[in-house]
Structure 1
Amino acid sequence: MPELMAIALFVCLCLALMLGYPVAFTLGGISLLFAGAGVMLGLFDPSFFGALPSRLFGTMNNQTLLAVPLFVFMGVMLEKSRVAEKLLESMSQLFGGLRGGLAFSVLLVGALLAASTGIVGATVVTLGLLALPTMLRRGYDPALATGTLAATGTLGQIIPPSIILVLLGDVLSNAYQQAQLRMGIFSPETVTVGDLFIGSLLPGLLLVGLYLLYLIAVALWQPEKMPALPVEERGQVSIIGLLGSLFPPLLLIAAVLGSILAGIATPTEAAAVGAIGAMLLALANGQLSIARLREVSRATTEISAMVFMILIGASIFSLVFRGFGGEEMIHNLFQQLPGGAFTATLLVMLVIFLLGFILDFIEITFVVVPIVGPVLLMMGIDPIWLGVMIALNLQTSFLTPPFGFALFYLRGVTHPDVPTSAIYRGVLPFIAIQILMLVIVALWPGLVTWLPGVL
């Protein structure tokens, strides 16, 4: 009977979120209602809430999560500083003479933005506003143009410093400690955000390479879909101008990721370096002012407050779910599945993929991963590999019609003359590439675990 309450809690939560109720308050409110009903029915022990104050204090005092507002600040500041505009202009001049040159430029600029901002929505909207009108005006196939932009924008999910990797690092660290305690292992080892950053580097770069190979193939076999720029619009390629556009964001990426890879700084400290670097870039571009700083700070506060309120609601949900025996039920279910860890992981990935249609990555990270994470880790799954697989999976889900979040972002900045069906058709090849990438990482987990082991 308590297990039925746990199932009903999860189902009611998903239904409420699908109806559009505020996530943070829905998580906490529905959980408290179910807990109250459970106490009256004698199915829930209220002493479980004794652990809530310490958990909330630990969340607010978590040094790792301090990286979230800092990375958000960095991303929003870069979005406002015209870095993307200058990069895209320089890359277009460099590749404009090639068939597909604009698409190549969008992909490379998007990858650099992903490694600078880590915010998917900002990257998709920025690239959509800057590049899509030019691509359509120059005769690019609408499906190919929109598909390239949407897929490129989601690279911020897997290329560090990604916000989702920061959140997954904290959640998987807690799951790893829980799994060790349940198995009677007392070890100081844990999973860090830096581990996930390092582990996602090779898959992220390989994914960019696969995208590029697809675009090159289209340019070779269907050149009419990706015409070269007319000679009069290519402009003069200036090495100084190109380096001037490339050097600042590359320097920022090197400062943030390089300090983490070299062990000089923690992800939180590197995020602070990135925030200061983004302000310096905005200053160099003449985009830093009191009004701009106020605008960026307000956006950062809103996003960060949302994240932490969801985390508080998720803490209440996980306590109530555990109080009803939900975690034990899932553990027993996974143990009884034929195929062991492989089947359990496949089932979790399928559920996360489907939930990615209706829930944001923050909600999935805070609600689903704490439930299934400890169980999978107890079955011998590597936590770094699991985190990267979840990030890749959510990236695929964000691209998949009809509910992909990246498609909604792009639709909002796309001209009405471009039908939604064209956007859906355009992302299908990139979804196939994403699925191929998931299979590659599943078959060769060393792509994820090798570099963290070396460093």
Structure 2
Amino acid sequence: MMEWMALLLFLCVCGTLLLGYPVALTLAGTSLIFAGIGVLTGTFETSYLNALPSRLFGIINNQTLLAVPLFVLMGIVLEKSKVAEDLLTAMASLFGNFRSGLVLSVIFVGMLLAASTGIVGATVVTMGLLSLPAMLKKGYPQSLACGSICATGTLGQIIPPSIALVLLGDVLSGAYQQAQLNMGNFSPDSVSVGDLFVGAIVPGLLLVALYALYVLIFTPKLEANESHDTQEDNTTSVFGALFPPLMLIILVLGSILAGFATPTEAAGVGATGAILLAFAQQKMDWTRLQAAALDTTKVTAMIFMILIGASIFSLIFRGFGGEEMIHRFFERLPGGEFGAILMVMAIIFVLGFILDFIEITFVVVPLVAPVLFMMGVDPIWLGIMIAVNLQTSFLTPPFGFALFYLRGVAPPSVQTMQIYKGVAPFVLIQLGLLIMMAIWPEIITWLPDTIYG
């Protein structure tokens, strides 16, 4: 009876979310209603409800999650200070004479923005407004232009410092400790956000290289390519545009990799550095800074509300015996560990059509990760696999969030079907990367093993 209540709780939460109700309130409200029913019917122990205050205090007191508002502030400040516009102009002047020059510029700028901001929506919208009209004017096919913008915009999911990796790191750390307790092992070891940042570097760069290779091979010859206007290569302007984001990347990631700072401390350095650079370039004033702080507050409040709701949901789901139900289900799957991982990846991929990565991270991952860890799955490898999987769902038609972001800013002449057609090759590239990481886990684990021994 208890496990059926856990399954019914999960289905009711998914159904209520599809009806459009607020995520945080849906998770908390539905779970508490089921807990009340369980208490009345004797299928739920009140001790789980007694644990809620300490659980919520742990969220508020979590030092790792302090990195979230700091990285969000860093990204919003860079967005409002026109860093993307300067980068795109500089890269276009550098690669302008190549057949694939403008598309390569978009990919390279998207990579730098991902490493600087980590915000998918902001990157897709910014690149769509700045580069899409120019690419269409120069004669690039609509599908290639739209696909490259959507794909590079989602690099913020995997290239550190990424908000997705910060949230995943915190959730996986709790799941790993829960798995250790379930196995009777009281080891203090856990999964850190820094581990995920290091593990994501090689897959992120490999994905960028695969994007660039695809563009170099499949960009058609443009009739207007010989006569289009190109800016004179200006080394000074290129260096001036590249210097601020590169310095931030070196400060943030370099301090983490060298062991000088935790991800939270590095996030503080990044946010401060972004503000100072914006003021130094006279592209920031107090009004814009106030707007950036307000936007940061809204995003952070939304994330923490969802986290609190998801924490209540996972606790009550576990109280109904949901974790044991998932464990038994995975054990009965053919293929053992491989079958369980394949099932989890398929579920996350499908849920990515209808749920945001934050909701999947807080709702689904805490339910399945402890069971996978008990089966011997490497936590860093699992975290990066989930991150790339979520990134793929951002692109997959017809519900990919990146497609909606671009559709909202694309000119009316761009057909929605061209956007779908354009992202299809990049989805295949990302699925190919997932398969490669599954076959060769060293793509993820080599750098962390090298740095941390």
Question: What per-residue deviation string (whole Å, max 9, x for no partner) do you get for residues 28-57 of structure 1?
Answer: 000011111111222111221111111111
Please give the alpha-carbon distance, in whole angstroms, between the structure 2 residues aligned to 1:187 and 1:35.
Answer: 31
Residue in 2 that maps onto 1:310: 306
**1:388 counterpart = 2:388:** no
Match of 1:230 among 217, 227, 230: 227
Contact 1:120 1:157 in 2 (8 A): yes
Question: What per-residue deviation string (whole Å, max 9, x for no partner) do you get for residues 402-429 of structure 1?
Answer: 0000001111100111111010000000
2:334 corresponds to which letter in structure 1? Answer: P
Please give the alpha-carbon distance, in whole angstroms, between the structure 1 residues aligned to 2:368 and 2:93.
Answer: 48
Contact 1:96 1:228 in 2 (8 A): no
**1:217 counterpart = 2:221:** no
Residue in 2 that maps onto 1:448: 444
Please give the alpha-carbon distance, in whole angstroms, between the structure 2 residues aligned to 1:294 and 1:229.
Answer: 46
Residue in 2 that maps onto 1:168: 168
Please give the alpha-carbon distance, in whole angstroms, between the structure 2 residues aligned to 1:309 and 1:87.
Answer: 35
Change (3 A) 1:98 1:227: farther
- CA shift for structure 1 position 227: 5.8
Give TM-score scaled by structure 2 length.
Answer: 0.98
1:319 corresponds to which letter in structure 2? Answer: L
Residue in 2 that maps onto 1:10: 10
SS of 2:116's partner is coil
Contact 1:115 1:156 in 2 (8 A): yes
**1:266 counterpart = 2:291:** no
2:284 corresponds to which letter in structure 1? Answer: L
**1:103 counterpart = 2:140:** no
SS of 2:279's partner is helix
Question: What per-residue deviation string (whole Å, max 9, x for no partner) do you get for residues 345-380 of structure 1?
Answer: 000000000000111000000000000000000000
Please give the alpha-carbon distance, in whole angstroms, between the structure 2 residues aligned to 1:230 and 1:115.
Answer: 34
2:306 corresponds to which letter in structure 1? Answer: I
Residue in 2 that maps onto 1:292: 288
Residue in 2 that maps onto 1:73: 73
- CA shift for structure 1 position 122: 0.6
Residue in 2 that maps onto 1:51: 51
Residue in 1 that maps onto 2:353: 357
Moved more, 296-305 or 273-282: 273-282
Moved more, 15-24 or 370-379: 15-24
Moved more, 351-360 or 12-21: 12-21
Moved more, 198-207 or 135-144: 135-144
1:414 corresponds to which letter in structure 2? Answer: A
Residue in 2 that maps onto 1:182: 182
1:262 corresponds to which letter in structure 2? Answer: A
Change (3 A) 1:387 1:227: farther
- CA shift for structure 1 position 230: 3.3
Contact 1:99 1:227 in 2 (8 A): no
| Unmatched tracts of structure 1, length 5 or more | none
Contact 1:96 1:229 in 2 (8 A): no
- CA shift for structure 1 position 183: 1.1
Contact 1:82 1:285 in 2 (8 A): no
What are the residue-to-residue correspondences of 1:88-167 with 2, within 5 Å?
88-167=88-167
Please give the alpha-carbon distance, in whole angstroms, between the structure 2 residues aligned to 1:178 and 1:372.
Answer: 11
Identity of aligned residues (%): 65
Please give the alpha-carbon distance, in whole angstroms, between the structure 1 residues aligned to 2:185 and 2:442.
Answer: 25
Contact 1:154 1:398 in 2 (8 A): yes
- CA shift for structure 1 position 283: 1.1
SS of 1:21's partner is coil
Question: What per-residue deviation string (whole Å, max 9, x for no partner) do you get for residues 363-399 of structure 1?
Answer: 0000000000000000000000000000000000010
1:42 corresponds to which letter in structure 2? Answer: G
Contact 1:140 1:227 in 2 (8 A): no
Residue in 2 that maps onto 1:412: 408
**Number of positions where the alignment pairs a residue of Structure 1 with one of Structure 2:** 451
- CA shift for structure 1 position 125: 0.5
Please give the alpha-carbon distance, in whole angstroms, between the structure 1 residues aligned to 2:304 and 2:427.
Answer: 31
Residue in 1 that maps onto 2:26: 26
Residue in 2 that maps onto 1:195: 195
- CA shift for structure 1 position 339: 0.9
Please give the alpha-carbon distance, in whole angstroms, between the structure 2 residues aligned to 1:9 and 1:182.
Answer: 23
SS of 1:223's partner is coil
**1:376 counterpart = 2:399:** no
Please give the alpha-carbon distance, in whole angstroms, between the structure 1 residues aligned to 2:61 and 2:115.
Answer: 27
- CA shift for structure 1 position 287: 1.9
Please give the alpha-carbon distance, in whole angstroms, between the structure 2 residues aligned to 1:130 and 1:276.
Answer: 26
Question: What per-residue deviation string (whole Å, max 9, x for no partner) do you get for residues 148-204 of structure 1?
Answer: 000000000000001000000000001111111111112121110000000000000
2:183 corresponds to which letter in structure 1? Answer: M
Residue in 2 that maps onto 1:240: 236
- CA shift for structure 1 position 248: 1.3
Q: CA RMSD in A?
A: 1.0
2:237 corresponds to which letter in structure 1? Answer: G
Change (3 A) 1:323 1:142: same
Residue in 1 that maps onto 2:279: 283
Residue in 2 that maps onto 1:331: 327
Change (3 A) 1:229 1:298: farther
Please give the alpha-carbon distance, in whole angstroms, between the structure 1 residues aligned to 2:28 and 2:435.
Answer: 36
2:258 corresponds to which letter in structure 1? Answer: A
Contact 1:23 1:310 in 2 (8 A): yes
**1:64 counterpart = 2:57:** no
Contact 1:100 1:228 in 2 (8 A): no
Contact 1:321 1:327 in 2 (8 A): yes
Residue in 2 that maps onto 1:208: 208
| Unmatched tracts of structure 2, length 5 or more | none
Please give the alpha-carbon distance, in whole angstroms, between the structure 1 residues aligned to 2:303 and 2:336.
Answer: 34
